[in-house]
Amino acid sequence: MTLYALILFSHIAGAFFLFAGLALEWAAVSYLRRNPPRFQADSSLHLAGVAPRLYGPALGVILLSGGYLGSKIDGFSQGWVLVSVVTLFFIGIIGVAFTAPRYRALLKTFEKKTEGESSAFQDRRRDPVLLASVRFRIALVFGIVLLMVSKLDLRLSLITIACAVALGILVAIPSWRRSPIERVQVPN
């Protein structure tokens, strides 16, 4: 086994862990929006807290191994590599700037052991940005995978990522609609 093969393996494994972490986050956030009992909400919050431990290091592994792999093929002069790297940084920024603060606030309101569910927790668990963020980031990751498979020039790479952004927006928009549970009217 060569060093190149080992680094290529770590790059692919990093992509799997990135998808796994984002999938866990999506599942946990989606379940929390369904108003589960407190003990189940605790499990979902724990699951959502594990997700960044998967995709955070995975992003680092992908960037480091991708940097090495790119240097071996003069990749930094190829459009798809540049667009992929910038998009990966953008995915990380979205997670740090939008998702992490909202998750911490959600966890903080949950940990306040109150009678019943606090209204702050109810509002935060329905925060549409949590669900929209993970959906949008997954669409961007699929765009990057498409770039890596097709190895397009800069212009086509930018078009591909623009399409991934459009898809991400389309799949994120439904996050702002109310769930069926929230639509139920309580009779007076």
Asked whether residue 188 is assigned to any structural domain, the reply reads no
Say how far apart CA 50 and CA 44 lie, in whole Å. Answer: 10
Asked whether residue 39 is assigned to any structural domain, the reply reads yes
- The mean of the pLDDT values for the chain is 85
Give residue-wise pLDDT tens across range 98-121.
888 888 888 888 777 655 556 777
76 has a pLDDT exceeding 50: yes
Asked whether residue 147 is assigned to any structural domain, the reply reads yes
**pLDDT grade, residue 185 (50/70/90)?**
very low
Say how far apart CA 140 and CA 87 lie, in whole Å. Answer: 7
Which residue segment(s) compose the domain that 85 sits in?
3-179
Asked whether residue 174 is assigned to any structural domain, the reply reads yes
140 has a pLDDT exceeding 90: yes
Asked whether residue 110 is assigned to any structural domain, the reply reads yes
Return the beta strands (E) in 20-152 as ranges. Answer: none
Asked whether residue 65 is assigned to any structural domain, the reply reads yes
| Predicted pLDDT of residue 87 | 95
Asked whether residue 186 is assigned to any structural domain, the reply reads no
Neighbours of 134 (CB within 10 A): 29
Where do the H-state alpha helices sit in 73-127? 79-94, 100-111, 119-125
| Predicted pLDDT of residue 188 | 46
| Proportion of the chain above pLDDT 70, given as a percent | 90
Backbone angles phi, psi at 17, to 5 degrees: -65, -35
Task: Please give the tally of structural domains in the chain.
Answer: 1
Query: Which position has the higher pLDDT, 151 or 107?
Result: 151
Asked whether residue 184 is assigned to any structural domain, the reply reads no
The terminus-to-terminus CA distance of the chain in angstroms comes to 71
Tallying the residues shown for the chain, one arrives at: 188
Say how far apart CA 144 and CA 81 lie, in whole Å. Answer: 9
Lowest mean pLDDT among 42-51, 113-122, 156-165: 113-122
Instruction: Quote the pTM value.
Output: 0.83
| Predicted pLDDT of residue 168 | 95
